[in-house]
Amino acid sequence: MSDAPEQLRLMAVHAHPDDESSKGAASMARYVKEGVDVLVVSCTGGERGSVLNPKMDRPEVWKNITEIRAKEMETAREILGVKQQWLGFVDSGLPEGWLPDSDIALPEDCFYLVPDEVAAAPLVKFIREFKPHVITTYDEDGGYPHPDHIKTHLVTMEAWKAAGDPERYQEFGEAWQPSKLYYHMSFGRQRVTALHEAMVAAGLDSPYAEWLTDRDWTRDKGPRITTSVECAEYFPLRDDALRAHATQVDPDGFWFSVPMEIQQKAWPTEDFELVESTIETTKPEDDLFAGLR
């Protein structure tokens, strides 16, 4: 085990403003409380995102969506206590039926169409400046097949390889190799089942009943979990940050349909898959910084 650094640093790379509040937010809030320096990197501004809150679906919102989403992000990062940087690329949108192998066109100026090495350049710069010990991002299909989520995965993997290579991106200063890279593992079948059964036991209608019967679980990612971070105490803070993205989240909608006490008891962790590590660690882990403390 290595000596503990003076201050641990975590970088979370996300596609859009709001993703940081729906994936790993409670873990980040816990680590901030413990004194970890946490930086969220948002790859795009969410310019082409839909307005998913019917209460916000108004012409003046659509007209000013870029500015509004930036202000929502500012509020969310203050709630979580994290720092944040924009990678500066333009949201790709999600055309109906789009998949990576489809012939459905994306906007010419969008993030997805930027070559990986070009898109990774500002992320390499942030890695070398911030010097994270741990990076979190999305898995190979983006968690779900949105072009910006898939691109975020590709760009993060490129930056992970390049940031520690002194021969690459020399204009961004001294190389820095983070120690560990994780993927978010949000909705495995075991977690969905636990939440569903807890709702049924409480005599409540479960929002996950159709998921369990209708969803294709042949590629269930739950078995890939290596690391479960207990953070139930911070679920309310996570939800406050999520609600701050008022254009994206209906406060009366699906994501808030399971009572907080049931969430905290049925599944009190956020879960990750350790995919790259330069240090020795023992799996399963209960800490993203296992081996570094």
Dump pLDDT digits (tens) for 195-210: 999 999 999 999 999 9
CATH number where 132 lies: 3.40.50.10320
Question: Could you tell me the two tokens for 235?
Answer: 């679920």
- Note whether residue 283 is domain-resident: no
Residues 283/285/288/293 CA torsion (nearest 10 deg): -90
- Note whether residue 201 is domain-resident: no
Q: Residue 82: what pLDDT?
A: 98
- Is 19 annotated for ligand binding? yes
Give CA–CA dist 30/2, Å, rounded. Answer: 22
- Note whether residue 95 is domain-resident: yes
- Note whether residue 110 is domain-resident: yes
Give CA–CA dist 129/4, Å, rounded. Answer: 20
Pair 292, 4: CB distance under 8 Å: yes
pTM as predicted: 0.95
Q: For residue range 73-117, what is the model confidence (pLDDT) as tens digits?
A: 999 999 999 999 999 999 999 999 999 999 999 999 999 999 999
Would you give the DSSP letter of residue 179?
Answer: S
Work out the burial of residue 193: count CB atoms within 10 Å of its CB; fewer than 13 is exposed, 13-18 middle, 19 or more buried: middle
pLDDT confidence tier of residue 268, bands split at 50, 70 and 90 = very high
Q: For residue range 32-83, what is the model confidence (pLDDT) as tens digits?
A: 999 999 999 999 999 998 888 888 888 888 888 899 999 999 999 999 999 9
- Measured from the Cβ of residue 204, the count of other Cβ atoms closer than 10 Å reads 13
- Is 271 annotated for ligand binding? no
- Note whether residue 206 is domain-resident: no
pLDDT confidence tier of residue 3, bands split at 50, 70 and 90 = low
Would you give the DSSP letter of residue 269?
Answer: E
Pair 236, 258: CB distance under 8 Å: no
Look at the chain and report how many structural domains it folds into.
1
Tokens 């989403």 — which residue? 69
- Note whether residue 116 is domain-resident: yes
Domain of 91, in residue numbers: 9-188+222-277
Q: Residue 193: what pLDDT?
A: 97
Lay out the sheet containing 180-184: strands in order across.
83-89, 37-44, 9-14, 134-137, 180-184, 269-277, 227-230
- Note whether residue 165 is domain-resident: yes
- Note whether residue 196 is domain-resident: no
Phi, psi dihedral angles at 130 (to 5 degrees): -85, -30
